[in-house]
Amino acid sequence: MSENANGIELILNKIREYGDQTARRIIDESTEKAQALLNEAQADSDAFLEGEQNGLQEEIRRIEAQAETDYSAVERDRTLALKQKMLAEAYKRAAEKLTDLSDDEKLSLYRKWLLKYGEDSDYSVVMNKKDRDSFGDILASEMSRGIFPGHPSLSAFSADITGGMILDFGDSRTDVSFESVVNSEKGRYDMELINIMFSEGQN
């Protein structure tokens, strides 16, 4: 009976040992699995955070590049508007200077234009009322003496111009009024004018 009891106790001890080993193995395996899952989760989290950070940095660079582009566009538009304003002011002053010429200076200028634009035909010379009244008779006298090309004559009508002349050939007209002369120069010397004005502004 004693031997059976010892045998049973031995069996029970073996069972307990096996149970303990099994339990430890299960615990160890569970711990390893849990650690693996934790490591995997940490790796996924790190990858996600790295991706988010890279995406954020990329978005920041994109915003900075866009802001720089927008700033450049604004500066370009402002510079263009300034240049256009300066050109308009330059042409306006040119027209004003022509208008402010003395009668002698205008008469000299008109003679040159008649010699340059006159044609070998009959034509009338139209001026504004102020110039016509001031020195029209002098110019008419010179026209009658054949000083200028063709057969010009002073028109009895006046033109609504600030100065200069309109040569009326009947089937065509040559407009050398101050307005037309200044407008005809627009665009031809814009870059030269801009360089001069910006150079003066920087000195």
pLDDT above 90 covers what percent of the chain? 37
The predicted structure's pLDDT at residue 184: 78
Query: How big is the chain, counted in residues?
Result: 203
Strand partners, 154: 125
Kindly report, residue by residue over 147-198, the tens digit of the pLDDT: 999 999 999 999 999 999 999 999 999 999 988 888 877 666 556 655 665 5
What does 2-39 look like in DSSP terms, one character per residue? HHHHHHHHHHHHHHHHHHHHHHHHHHHHHHHHHHHHHH
pLDDT attached to residue 65 = 72
Residue 200: the pLDDT is 54
Nearby residues of 186 by Cβ (< 8 Å), 6 or more positions away: 87, 91
Characterize the bridge pairing of strands 122-127 and 151-158: parallel
Average pLDDT, stretch 108-126? 94
pLDDT of residue 188: 62
Identify the pLDDT of residue 79. 65
pLDDT value of position 93: 76
Tell me the CATH architecture of domain 101-190: 2-Layer Sandwich (3.30)
pTM over 0.85: no
CA distance 97 to 179: 12
Average pLDDT over residues 66-74: 68
* Angle formed at CA 124 by CA 121 and CA 130, multiple of 5 degrees: 155
Tokens of 196: 């001069």
Tell me: pLDDT of 57 over 80.
no
pLDDT in tens, 18-42: 556 665 665 566 666 656 666 665 6
Q: Are 164 and 126 in contact (CB under 8 A)?
A: no
